[in-house]
Amino acid sequence: ETGVTQTPRHLVMGMTNKKSLKCEQHLGHNAMYWYKQSAKKPLELMFVYSLEERVENNSVPSRFSPECPNSSHLFLHLHTLQPEDSALYLCASSQDITSGEQYFGPGTRLTVT
């Protein structure tokens, strides 16, 4: 495994629900990322954190709210999602934001009903 874990692995939620995705890395890395992976589309970078500070927000709707309480943990808070938000959400980490090598978690398969 890569040293990056994500929970839950699967999540089904209604459009009015509030839920959170969790990511944890055990690699001592300083940068963490959220990606959205949809079928037949390239991975879309959503957020980037460096030393708990958000450095990138790729025009992501406000119904997605990230949180990075420390360099090992990253959350993605979800509320009032739309069916088109159904996708695989991947967390990744890297040594720092200059490092090209990213280590990915297994992802959370999200279904919005």
Partner 1 sequence: AQTVTQSQPEMSVQEAETVTLSCTYDTSESDYYLFWYKQPPSRQMILVIRQEAYKQQNATENRFSVNFQKAAKSFSLKISDSQLGDAAMYFCAYRSPGPVRGSQGNLIFGKGTKLSVKP
Which residues of this chain interact with partner 1, rule CB under 8 A?
1-2, 4, 31, 40-43, 45, 48, 50, 55-56, 90, 96-98, 100-107
Q: How far is the CB of 55 from partner 1 (least distance, A)?
A: 6
Between 83 and 100, CB nearer to partner 1:
100
What are the start-end ranges of the E strands in 15-72? 18-25, 31-37, 44-50, 53-57, 64-70
Nearer to partner 1 among residue 84 and residue 101 (C-beta): 101
Give the integer Cα–Cα distance in Å for 85 and 94. Answer: 25
- Spatial neighbors of 102 by CB under 8 A, at least 6 apart, are 33, 92, 93, 94
Judged by beta carbon, residue 2 or residue 65, the one nearer partner 1 is 2
| In the complex, minimum distance from the CB of residue 109 to partner 1, in angstroms, rounded to a whole number | 9
